[in-house]
Amino acid sequence: MYLRFCAAAFLSVLTISSVQAQVRSPSRLPDPRSEFVRQCAPRMLGRWEHPEEVCGCLHDHAAAVVEDRDLREALLRGISETGVPTIETDWVPAAKQGEIGATFTKIAKPTLQCMFDPAKS
């Protein structure tokens, strides 16, 4: 009986230790902004002197003015995949596809600022 009690206590200590270890070292999820810049910057090489600054500016200023989540995600996808602000209609729900033009009008000024003078944005 004493042996069973010791074995049970030992197993509970191991279980508690492994749970605490998992709590202390959570898996790191990538920062969405950093991930965007990582995907975007190679598309900007050769176009801009500081591609990371341009990509960060597009994320922080141009895409930030788009309130709708679906349109913003489509815009960020377009920039990171092509290096220019673009939204494919199949990236946006059908009900929101009519808002694509207005979205580009909204981001025009911050996009130009990011592309030509990202330090001032």
Domain boundaries defined on the chain: 32-116
- Structure-block tokens of residue 62: 């141009």
pLDDT exceeds 70 at position 54: yes
Measured distance CA(82)–CA(76) in Å, rounded: 10
Pairs from 32-36 (Cβ < 8 Å, separation ≥ 24) = 33/59, 33/60, 36/76, 36/79, 36/80
CB atoms within 10 A of CB 88: 13
pLDDT exceeds 70 at position 46: yes
Q: Comparing 70 with 46, which gets the higher pLDDT?
A: 70
The pLDDT, as a whole number, for residue 26 is 56
pTM of the model: 0.72
The pLDDT, as a whole number, for residue 11 is 42
The pLDDT, as a whole number, for residue 88 is 96
- Structure-block tokens of residue 5: 């009690």
Report helix, strand or coil for 45. Answer: strand
pLDDT, tens only, 66-120: 999 999 999 999 999 999 999 999 999 999 999 999 999 999 999 999 988 876 6
Q: Which of 5-19, 33-47, 56-70 has the lowest mean pLDDT?
A: 5-19
- How high does pLDDT run on average in the chain? 83
Closest CA to 83 of 119, 47, 112: 47
The pLDDT, as a whole number, for residue 1 is 59
